[in-house]
């Protein structure tokens, strides 16, 4: 019997390239209409610019840097020294599933012990998680990460919105901007979605496990632009890693380095983005 090939389920399929449309200048962004489907002309008018957000440590706290070392009872330096150099990258690109990640996690070849669930005193979840019905059970069952007390639960507990980001995303939604995730992350993005419902504000369109490419590779940005069907200058990309921001600028996008929500708000306003956040938000 042929070996099964892992193909992660697509949460939000990539959009088809949009037809050509009249260019909009930066000055016209705030006056541009919201997206409207025009069946009679097959033209799709969009409010530009399109906003592209990295997720981890830009929108959502990344548990890897604090919670995961504690889970393994290691320092971050020890964890980085012992983990396999390419396994996580392969997982992020959708090339391996989490069972294979469990087998390859440590570079000395020792698999994660299914019975050794780490230090759960720092990772015990305070809620019950139910995954969406459309996710096949084999993607989650039978792995070193799947136990209620295991690493995945540790990750889930650590996911939270970065301070101030929830209100900022709500404002962009209110103003009808087109917003996409453009992030390096594995199939576990579904766990973020299940806990935080990030899709209230954006589409998980350009997740590395879905498109098979990772930032800051140049072809990753090319792929995004191809599917969006807009000029690079009509895209604003936000990331906490300057390397990824510089690659976006090299692709012709407007790149913003994320520092905190307040600074990002001011950066976006300076580009003409409409943002209104109440003092009590």
pLDDT at position 65 is 87
pLDDT at position 96 is 94
Grouping H, G, I as helix, E, B as strand and the rest as coil, residue 52 is strand
Q: Across residues 82-104, what is the average pLDDT?
A: 92
Higher-confidence residue: 80 or 24? 80
Residue 186 confidence (pLDDT) above 80: yes
Interatomic CA distance for residues 142 and 150, integer angstroms: 12
Residue 15 confidence (pLDDT) above 60: no
Could you read off the pLDDT of 133-178 as tens digits, one per residue?
433 333 333 344 544 457 888 899 999 999 999 999 999 999 999 9
Q: Give the HSE-up count for residue 93: Cα atoms under 13 Å, Cβ half-sphere.
A: 13
74: closest CA among 12, 8, 151, 143?
151
pLDDT at position 108 is 78
**Token pair in block for residue 74:** 């290691």
Provide the sign of the torsion angle of the four alpha carbons 160, 65, 136, 54, taken in this order.
positive
- Three-state secondary structure along 152-217? HHHHHHHCCECCCHHHHHHHHHHCCCCEEEEECCCCCHHHHHHHHCHHHCCEEEEEHHHHCCCCCC
Grouping H, G, I as helix, E, B as strand and the rest as coil, residue 5 is coil
Residue 196 confidence (pLDDT) above 50: yes
Interatomic CA distance for residues 279 and 276, integer angstroms: 10
Q: Chain centroid to CA 235: how far?
A: 17
pLDDT at position 149 is 54
Residue 55 confidence (pLDDT) above 70: yes
Identify whether the C-beta of residue 79 lies closer than 8 Å to the C-beta of residue 85.
no
Higher-confidence residue: 39 or 230? 230
pLDDT at position 26 is 37
180: closest CA among 84, 253, 108, 110?
253
Could you read off the pLDDT of 244-267 as tens digits, one per residue?
999 999 999 999 999 999 999 999
Q: Across residues 213-223, what is the average pLDDT?
A: 97
Residue 46 confidence (pLDDT) above 70: yes
pLDDT at position 114 is 32
Residue 62 confidence (pLDDT) above 80: yes
């Amino acid at each position: 019997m042929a070996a099964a090939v892992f193909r992660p389920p697509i949460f939000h399929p990539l959009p088809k390239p949009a037809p050509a449309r009249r260019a909009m200048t930066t000055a016209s962004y705030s006056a541009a209409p919201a997206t409207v489907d025009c069946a009679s002309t097959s033209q799709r008018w969009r409010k530009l610019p399109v906003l592209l957000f990295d997720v981890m440590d830009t929108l959502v706290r990344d548990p890897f840097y604090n919670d995961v070392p504690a889970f393994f009872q290691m320092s971050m330096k020890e964890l980085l020294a012992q983990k396999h150099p390419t396994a996580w990258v392969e997982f992020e690109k959708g090339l391996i599933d989490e069972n294979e990640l469990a087998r390859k996690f440590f570079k000395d070849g020792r698999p994660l012990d299914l019975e050794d669930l780490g230090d759960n005193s720092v990772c015990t979840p305070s809620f019950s998680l139910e995954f969406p019905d459309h996710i096949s059970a084999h993607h989650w069952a039978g792995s070193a990460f799947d136990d209620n007390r295991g690493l995945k639960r540790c990750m889930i507990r650590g996911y939270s919105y970065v301070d101030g980001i929830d209100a900022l995303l709500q404002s962009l939604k209110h103003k009808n901007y087109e917003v996409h995730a453009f992030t390096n992350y594995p199939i576990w993005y579904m766990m973020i979605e299940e806990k935080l419902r990030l899709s209230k504000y954006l589409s998980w369109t350009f997740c590395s496990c879905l498109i098979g490419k990772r930032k800051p590779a140049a072809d990753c940005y090319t792929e995004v632009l191809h599917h969006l069907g807009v000029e690079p200058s009509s895209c604003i990309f936000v990331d906490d890693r300057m390397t990824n921001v510089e690659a976006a600028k090299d692709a012709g996008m407007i790149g913003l380095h994320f520092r905190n929500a307040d600074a990002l708000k001011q950066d976006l306003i300076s580009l003409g983005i409409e943002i209104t956040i109440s003092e009590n938000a």
